[in-house]
Structure 1
Amino acid sequence: MFLVAPLVVGMWRSTWGIMELHRNMFPNVQIYLLGMLIHISFALVRSYLLSRSRSTKENKPKFHWIRERVLSRVYGYIFILSCIMHWRGGWGIFDMLVAAVIPEENDPHRPVLIGALTLFMYASTAAVRAARNLLASPYFLVTDGKEATYQFDTRFRRQTSREMALYVLDCIFSVTVVGSLVVFVWRGSWALLDIFLYPDDQVRSFWTSLVGGYVVVLVTFVLQVPMRWAAARLHGAPRLLLVDVYHLMSFVATVNVWRGVWGLLDVYYFPDRPKFSNWSIHIISLTLLILLNCSNSILVRGVYIDAEEPAGDCVVFPCHYLRLFFHKERTKKRHSRVLAAAALSAARKTEEASMLQTPEEKV
């Protein structure tokens, strides 16, 4: 919550700011389409990339691990840029749509229009059972690794080996429809906070978002045990409604945390030197996330289906870090013990067989 999440927000804010400094090179509609195109392309070939990565490890060519590490970082960085282009372009398109209907920023009907659009987009997201995709860090933490880097789910879980046409349509729908709905809900919610949360005092507004967001984050984590108990005992529509309400509360916390960190960086971190501010945060955030083995947490990809997991697991947030580390260490030790036991057993069998042989058989 307090280390990875600010670094993720810093990476997004700095990359977004660099694009803002070069607006002519990053027009909204073009980068919106380009970001989705790259995302769809990676979705189409994700199984191939994973299998190629695994085969490389099995064949063990010279310096294979160095090559794989470099290729995965390049792939991840391109994916990061595509996600941010998709989002920045989508925010610009949302703003253009609002401005086309109500050009005046001080028009009292403008917040009503933004609220109506946001509510419609959220209802559409919930209708396709994708409201959980509105969440981000600090509720999600994705560690680096071959599975986490290359493999992610689409909305209808189609596999490339069967029904190729449906597989392609699934990838396109997941990125263009579900992904764009998430972008527009975020933009509308952020805009409403800008309008209603101390609009005349930005510093106070950002601090309120940060503190309030983290308070709600802590509350949702405290509520996770009773929510998990309740979700395990409900079925059908009541269970889905409970999960959606819980995720909506978590989304409100998420967007406030992001807005608070983002805005306070704009206010306090070299506001008069935007080029240095953006590039330094960009390099520092990306480097630290790679060293922490959490660079995949920057990405927005894959589609979670609301209440898909069995029992109460549908309200458990995938933010495991130390648990995964200790689990890997235990798995390694267990694997070593199994190999050692197998080797000892084989040695004993060989010794017993040798003792039963006659001198002639030994010769």
Structure 2
Amino acid sequence: MRGSTAGLPEHFQGYNKSYNRILTVLDSLFSIVVVCPCVVGYWRSIWKLMEIYATPQGSELLSALISTTIGMTGHLAFCFLQKVLEHTFHPYKNRILYYLVSRLYTVCFAFTCVNGWRGPWQLLELHAKYNKFTVLVTTVVSVAALVAIRCLRNVAAPPCLIVKDVVRGYFEVMTMFRLSMGEKTSLYILDCLFSVLIVGTLVVFVWRGGWALLDIFVFPEDDVLSAWASLILGYASVAIAFILQPVMRYLCERFSGTPRLLIADFFILFALFGTINVWRGIWNLLNIYFLPENPELSCWITHWVCLIILILLGCSNSLLVRGVYIDAEEPAGKCVVFPCYYLRIIFQGEKLKQLNLTSLTIQNVKVHVRDSEKAMENNHIVSVSTISTTIKQNHKENC
């Protein structure tokens, strides 16, 4: 559930600024209203089902250890196998097989991710309990550690990002130091271990701390009122964060170095506050209102409904927490732009196809239609070919 906007053009080619603004607003609403509730519903279902099925003899400690083992070993396995999967499965080789394997990969990885969060979360909860001081200390220390290693942005989640299911980089898992298996195996293994065990665990502790503090301070005696308060506060904060993006971008463009990094981190924390509230509100309201007398059935229904919706919409990878991204690694102010690109990528792809078809009609030659999904790396936007570039490339190939 992490993303980058490095290399993304100021405006998508072929549309004026007003049209781009409309698509930007629609993408934001799509993320807030559709993607986020589905992701939360899926995570809640797996989390609760593990509580039901993976708690031998009522032992919460053993249940947490089971989830931790599944999460950590599974995540590391997907890191180590990413190149094998990438080379073995591709739509050019067998489109149907690729589609089946890639979606099965998403389902298995999503299950792994939820367990990778549930295990450390429950272990910390069993030992630290809900003491205000311990919760506050663990949260502050975790945030400080992420800031120090420039990994705070990895706390991001829907509705502040959308991850499309695209071919390029579908199986890729970015690591902290960007090493590859081919460079040096031992260093790559250490890179994966650090990315999964250290960065991943710190992110879980930050989320758990924020969630626990809300449980402590937001109407702790009334679960219903607390859930609604979180939902309203969360959506209000997220809306403000989306609105503030141009201002924060302007500030980041005017600063560099440590001041720019601090501005970006402050904005990330504000967005995180809204995100955790949204998740907590949706999660608890599902517990309260959706088949509370039969939580097992409630979880299975939300599991399949949310998963199928996300797969059909082509953004099921929004369920995953994978890869490590560095704070403010994008140029200028793009480090504070939420990677919520859905309709804009679809429309841009259609525009490029129309342009190539027009070029084919005029020149009566074969034109290669470039897929806009090549603009994605690790399921996140990295670059988008402009229409003018596409025309020039087509012309050179046809000469």
TM-score bin (small chain): 0.7 to 0.9
1:33 matches 2:81: no
State the secondary structure of the residue aligned to 2:170. Answer: helix
Distance in 1 (alpha carbons) for counterparts of 2:120 and 2:354: 47
Aligned runs of 1:1-363 on 2, under 5 Å?
A: 1-24=32-55, 27-54=63-90, 57-58=91-92, 60=93, 64-99=94-129, 110-338=131-359, 343-344=364-365
Query: Equivalents in 2 of 1:342, 1:38: separation in Å?
Result: 52
User: TM-score w.r.t. structure 1 length?
Assistant: 0.87
CA shift, 1:34, in A, is 2.2
Letter in 1 for 2:218: L
> Structure 2 counterpart of 1:315, which letter?
V
SS at match of 1:223: helix
Superposition deviation, residue 185 in structure 1: 1.0
2:33 and 2:345 map into 1 onto residues whose CA distance is 18
Quote the Cα distance in structure 2 between the aligned partners of 1:345 and 1:319: 34
Rounded to whole Å, the distance in 2 between the matches of 1:122 and 1:165 is: 29
Identify, as 1 or 2, the structure richer in helix.
1
The Cα of 1:341 is off from its aligned counterpart by 5.6
Measured in 1, the distance between the counterparts of 2:366 and 2:134 equals: 73
- Given the superposition, is the C-alpha separation of residues 95 and 326 from structure 1 closer, same or farther in structure 2, using an over 3 Å criterion? same
For residue 294 of structure 1, what is the amino acid of its counterpart?
A: C
Q: Distance in 1 between matches of 2:199 and 2:364?
A: 52
Whole-Å Cα distance in 1 between the matches of residues 169 and 158 of structure 2? 16
Q: Percent identity?
A: 42
Deviation at 1:336, TM superposition (A): 3.7
SS in 1 for 2:168: helix
How large is the RMSD of aligned CA atoms in angstroms?
A: 1.7
What residue ranges of structure 1 are gaps of 5+ in the alignment? 100-104, 347-363
Letter in 1 for 2:273: V
Distance between the aligned counterparts of 2:355 and 2:192, measured in 1? 38
Task: Judge conservation of contact 1:130–1:178 (CA < 8 Å) in 2.
Answer: yes
Which residue identity does 1:10 align to in structure 2? Answer: G
- 2:143 and 2:306 mapped to 1: Cα distance? 30
| Bigger Rg, which one | 1
Distance 1:216 1:263 in 2: 18
Structure 2 contact 89–97 (Cα < 8 Å) conserved = no
| Secondary structure, aligned partner of 1:168 | helix
Gaps of 5+ in 2: 1-31, 57-61, 368-399
Quick one: distance in 2 between partners of 1:160 and 1:249? Answer: 36
Residues 113-142 of structure 1 show CA distances to partners (whole Å, capped at 9, x for unaligned) of: 111111111111111111111110000100
> How far does residue 18 in structure 1 lie from its aligned partner after superposition?
0.9
For structure 1, which segment, 217-226 or 322-331, has the greater mean C-alpha deviation from structure 2 after superposition?
A: 322-331
| CA displacement at 1:303 relative to structure 2 | 1.0
